[in-house]
Structure 1
Amino acid sequence: MGTEDRKQARPLKGTTRSLEGRTALITGAGTGIGRETALLLAEEGATVVLVGRRRQVLDEVAAAVVEAGGTAVTRPAHIEDAEEVRDLVSWTRGAAGPVDILVNNAGGAGRVGDVRWTGEDEWNAVMGVNLTAVYLLTQAVLPDMLERGGGSIVTISSMAALRPTLLGGAPYGAAKAGVRNFMAYLRNSYRDEGVRATCILPGAVDTPAHDTRAVPPGPEQRAAMVRPEDVARAVLLCASLPERTLIEELVIAPTVQGQR
């Protein structure tokens, strides 16, 4: 499937779905939380725009969406690049319609935990995907949302925004705190114009990101973590509530305290 292909199955039968006719742009949509969010939002009737760096994994998610009866389009992009973000949002407007729901899910930590040895390149790279990309995407979709009278922006932050540790590293915690602050800014600025900005702060989530840790968690540790589909259900809740209702912030943590 090419970058501009639209995957669509026959409409599902049954009652009207909560996101029918909406367009949802999801970053980091190829795996983990992004993948599960795409499946859930599509199940509720949204056309999902799958964004990431690897076309193959995006195509696989799109195929799963279609198999379940939904509609998906894919667009590989580097979302920390302003020009690519502008092109992405413009293309989305033509391929799927203006963005009604923006899910800022893409992110990643650096490889160096101790700030004493964190290089400037690593700092900037982590800030780019976790913070700058959220600013660029929000700036790009806001005009359409304001013109149409509203929209939802849901950003996946992290418990590292509240309790930073060596595990995530200095730039990751700082960036996740930054997007939390940015979502508060958006709420204070645009909620009266119908734009809902939500920050979700998950604790430990069982995603492939843990595979690259110096000491990957074992099976028992992973079993106690939050699952990507748990966070996806929270995203769906935030995006599908009546427009009169806003979830400002949502903390999702493993029940077992040792996994936070």
Structure 2
Amino acid sequence: MGALDRQIAIVTGGGSGIGRSTALRLAAEGARVVVVGRRLDTLEAVAREIGAAGGQAYARQVDLQKRAEMIDMVRWVEAELGTVDILVNNAGASSRVRNIQWIDEADWDSTVSVNLTAVYVLIQAVLPGMLARGGGTVITVSSLAAVRPSLLGGAPYGAAKAGVRNLMTYLHSTFRNNHIRSTTILPGEVNTPIMDTRVRPPSAEERAAMVSPDDVAQAVLLCCTLPARTTIEELVISPTLQRDQGPDTEISRWLGAPDGVAPANVPGKQA
């Protein structure tokens, strides 16, 4: 018997990285997991992996920049499976350009939409069911960029992650006495596919020293399986070893700069 038997969990960004690891761990404890994301093939692969291990999972393709698709997904879950017990807002996206001098409006808007607005939409969609049922758990994966913003993550990413941290604090203070547990997790560098979007993707050696997706998934599981009387409000998870991020930061400073603006000796200075 698992600690989460028959509970219903939604995990966004569930096709890879932290989302995949989280879905596997929740399912192993008996939760029925809905893995949500953009790429149906990867979501279905995770669902099959969970099924092969004896769990239950469902793949739902959703564009997290489209409100109607998110709401339709939650309504499908409620109609087919029941009230959502656990919402894990894990999906994230970063802008191509990091320096606020060169970020265009579309890049800014899409980053804020995925990292902040989608979390608001999904919380708003699941909250009535949780309140009517008498409780629930909402976990959002923010980032250390929320409290240590820099060129490495970029202006819109850091701003959105700070905003979602604030939103989760609001959720906790407003609904804690309704038995809604709200947790914000702030990871440092995690070896996930989002590292491929860095202006200089880290080497294999650098990635090996980062936090593993499963490390964060273990923390998510802990937050879900503690007694209902206990909430972890915020949790920082970072690599033990601090790598030199200076070169990456300098590249990020100039990516997207107009021709002739960036120093000639900076790699990745092209627009």
Q: Normalized against structure 2, the TM-score is what?
A: 0.89
- Give yes or no for the alignment of 1:80 onto 2:68: no
- Give yes or no for the alignment of 1:95 onto 2:80: yes
Aligned partners of 1:79 and 1:91: how far apart in 2?
A: 16
Aligned partners of 1:50 and 1:71: how far apart in 2?
A: 11
Aligned partners of 1:104 and 1:133: how far apart in 2?
A: 9
Secondary structure of 2:130's match? helix
**Alpha-carbon spacing, 1:66–1:228, altered in 2? closer, same or farther (3 Å):** same
The correspondence of residues 123-202 of structure 1 with structure 2, limited to 5 A, is: 123-202=108-187
Count matched residues. Answer: 245
Q: Is the CA contact (8 Å cut-off) linking 1:79 and 1:137 kept in structure 2?
A: no
Secondary structure of 2:33's match? strand
Task: Report the CA distance between 1:240 and its aligned residue.
Answer: 1.0
Secondary structure of 1:214's match? coil
Task: Report the CA distance between 1:213 and its aligned residue.
Answer: 2.1
Equivalent position of 1:40 in the other structure: 25
Task: Report the CA distance between 1:79 and its aligned residue.
Answer: 2.2
Aligned partners of 1:183 and 1:259: how far apart in 2?
A: 31
Larger radius of gyration: 2
Task: Report the CA distance between 1:259 and its aligned residue.
Answer: 7.1
Secondary structure of 1:132's match? helix
Secondary structure of 2:27's match? helix
Aligned partners of 1:113 and 1:186: how far apart in 2?
A: 29
Percent identical: 56
Equivalent position of 2:211 in the other structure: 226
- Give yes or no for the alignment of 1:23 onto 2:8: yes
The correspondence of residues 66-77 of structure 1 with structure 2, limited to 5 A, is: 66-77=51-62
Q: Is the CA contact (8 Å cut-off) linking 2:83 and 2:133 kept in structure 1?
A: no
Aligned partners of 2:170 and 2:199: how far apart in 1?
A: 36
Secondary structure of 2:87's match? strand
Aligned partners of 1:141 and 1:113: how far apart in 2?
A: 33
C-alpha distance after superposition, 1:125-153 (max 9, x if no partner):
00000000000000000000000000000
Aligned partners of 1:182 and 1:63: how far apart in 2?
A: 34
Farther off after superposition, 204-213 or 26-35: 204-213
Q: Is the CA contact (8 Å cut-off) linking 1:221 and 1:259 kept in structure 2?
A: no
Equivalent position of 2:233 in the other structure: 248
Secondary structure of 1:113's match? coil
Equivalent position of 2:201 in the other structure: 216
Equivalent position of 1:9 in the other structure: none
- Give yes or no for the alignment of 1:105 onto 2:90: yes
Aligned partners of 1:83 and 1:215: how far apart in 2?
A: 35
Aligned partners of 1:248 and 1:141: how far apart in 2?
A: 19
Aligned partners of 1:60 and 1:161: how far apart in 2?
A: 32
Q: Is the CA contact (8 Å cut-off) linking 2:188 and 2:211 kept in structure 1?
A: yes
Aligned partners of 1:189 and 1:212: how far apart in 2?
A: 36
Task: Report the CA distance between 1:74 and its aligned residue.
Answer: 1.2
CA RMSD of aligned residues (A): 1.1
Q: Is the CA contact (8 Å cut-off) linking 2:94 and 2:197 kept in structure 1?
A: no
Equivalent position of 1:4 in the other structure: none
Task: Report the CA distance between 1:258 and its aligned residue.
Answer: 2.6
Equivalent position of 1:257 in the other structure: 242
Aligned partners of 1:212 and 1:131: how far apart in 2?
A: 19
Q: Which amino acid aligns with 2:59?
A: T
- Give yes or no for the alignment of 1:60 onto 2:39: no
